[in-house]
Structure 1
Amino acid sequence: MPEGDSVFRTAARLHRALAGQVLTTAELRVPAHATADLTGRAVLDVTPRGKHLLTRLDGGLTLHTHLRMDGRWQVFRPGERWNGGPAWQIRAVLGNPQQIAVGYRLPVVQLLRTADEAMAVGHLGPDLLGPDWDQAEALRRLAADPGRPVAEALLDQRNLAGIGNVYANELCFLGGVTPWSAVGELPGQERVLALARRLLRLGCERPGHITTGESRPDRRHWVYGRAGRPCLRCGTVIRTADHGEPAHRRVAYWCPHCQRGPSPTG
């Protein structure tokens, strides 16, 4: 599942291509909205909310999409070959005379009234990249279940919106705890959330979810994706295991020396 910074960059790209323009092409290739006609409507803005995308149209309509694991929006010039996948994977097409946005493999394509956007995103916690970020509220939500594993709590979008598995693992490392440590035992929670926001904001400006400050592909992350390789800080071999509830399994990475707390390997 993409991180919040990736969704933010996607929203910015769609906003540049569509906002302020009238749709001359509009197709929603999902059964629920296959007959919806959006042509002739102006796109007001494309706004990210956590990992959700809200494309607002005049007339009080919003197209809500979510990328989840495999979804992707790509923007093309008229006449340019669409290359995001086979045609049967296309779920949405929005275009004007200058740009065409094509949504591939979108698991969520929902057309709703703008006044009803809370039905789609109202459950989300404070958005780390939103203008109304509320750290105190995010801390309150995390504290409501102090025994929950840190990685699970950070990934739960109802606590705070925008963190995916890359940043959850990296924040555990930077916080000095294993992903299975209780969130109530995470020291300096305010500092960790401030760091999370800083990393995501930097990620809006550059791809790769870089947490080390290094842009080389093999040194972008402290632990994520580094199973069996030496820790960049101490040289200990990075370990990996699954974490989370069965329906929401993720892969955890951690350094047994730099991170204290429980782990499946002891």
Structure 2
Amino acid sequence: MPEGDTVFLAGRRLHDALAGQELTRGELRHPRLVQHDLAGRTVLEVVSVGKHLFTRFDDATSLHSHFRMDGSWHLYRPGRPWKGPDHQVRAILAVPERVAVGFRLHDLDLLPTEREDTWVGHLGPDLLGEGWGPDDAAEVERRLRADPARELGAALLDQRVACGVGNLYKAEICFLVGVSPWTPVRDLSDQQVHDVVAWAHKLLSRNAWRPEQSTTGDLGDGAQHWVFERGGRGCRRCRDVVQSAGQAETQHADRGSPEREDRIAYFCPTCQPGPHPPLPPRRRGRRPQQQSVPRARY
């Protein structure tokens, strides 16, 4: 599932392309919405709330979309070929100079703007929300502590705690704070809880305006992340082997239908002390080759 900064950037690009303009084409191909034609409505704005997007129109309605695992919005110049098969298109919003095409948007709804809370009212503070401040951070800390027995990794992915963190940032935040993803929240110090929230906001904010997602401060190929998707490779800090294991998470909590599902968690056993699943036996021989440590730009 995309991280919150990916959805934020998609929303900003859609807003810049469509806001203030009347739709020359407004086709919805989702099975529940095929009877609606949005042509003639003016787009007021496109806003993101966590991993949700709302395209708001001048008739007080909003088009809600959620990417799930594989959805996306593409922008094209009129007449340019689309980079995706026609049968995956669920929405087409066109203005004179741009065409927005929504691919694989399994969650697509047209609703009164005043009822957007139906989809997002239960969520925690948006880490990329306008005006984020100390009160928002304190509320996320409170929600983290509300279930002391919960594993930190699971809590970070719960959008009811805070909006925006996905599996990538979960792994990187736990590494930067220096704790195992399986650490119960009750075992974290007040400073560690504070740091978890601070890193979550900092990392998403610094990646929100670009497609590349770097948590190390380095945009070089293969140098963007500390542990995410680096299982079996040497830790950038200590040379121990980065491990990966499944961690049970509450999925889809931001869409109102929680499901239990294992997600891969990445961690360094040396840099991130705390509970974790049994690790495979270490191989004899050389330790993994030391990787160059990215410069600390964050």
Q: TM-score, normalised by structure 2?
A: 0.87
1:37 paired residue number: 37
Work out whether 1:108 is the aligned partner of 2:96.
Answer: no
Instruction: List aligned pairs for 1:44-193, cutoff 5 A.
Output: 44-83=44-83, 85-133=84-132, 134-187=136-189, 188=191, 189-193=193-197
Q: What CA distance in whole angstroms lies between the structure 1 residues aligned with 2:210 and 2:112?
A: 33
Q: RMSD in angstroms over aligned alpha carbons?
A: 1.1
1:230 paired residue number: 234
Deviation at 1:225, TM superposition (A): 0.5
Residue 32 of structure 2 aligns to a residue whose secondary structure is: helix
1:198 to 202, 206, 209: 202
1:209 to 192, 210, 213: 213
Work out whether 1:255 is the aligned partner of 2:268.
Answer: yes
Counterpart amino acid of residue 37 in structure 2: D
Deviation at 1:206, TM superposition (A): 2.6
5+ residue gaps in structure 2?
A: 250-258, 280-298
Deviation at 1:185, TM superposition (A): 1.9
Q: What CA distance in whole angstroms lies between the structure 2 residues aligned with 1:183 and 1:37?
A: 48
Overall identity of the aligned pairs, in %: 51
Residue 54 of structure 2 aligns to a residue whose secondary structure is: strand
Greater radius of gyration (CA): 2
Counterpart amino acid of residue 91 in structure 1: R
Q: What CA distance in whole angstroms lies between the structure 1 residues aligned with 2:188 and 2:213?
A: 22
2:252 paired residue number: none
Counterpart amino acid of residue 92 in structure 1: A
Counterpart amino acid of residue 153 in structure 1: A
2:8 paired residue number: 8
Q: TM-score, normalised by structure 1?
A: 0.97
Q: What CA distance in whole angstroms lies between the structure 2 residues aligned with 1:166 and 1:184?
A: 23
Q: What CA distance in whole angstroms lies between the structure 2 residues aligned with 1:208 and 1:227?
A: 20
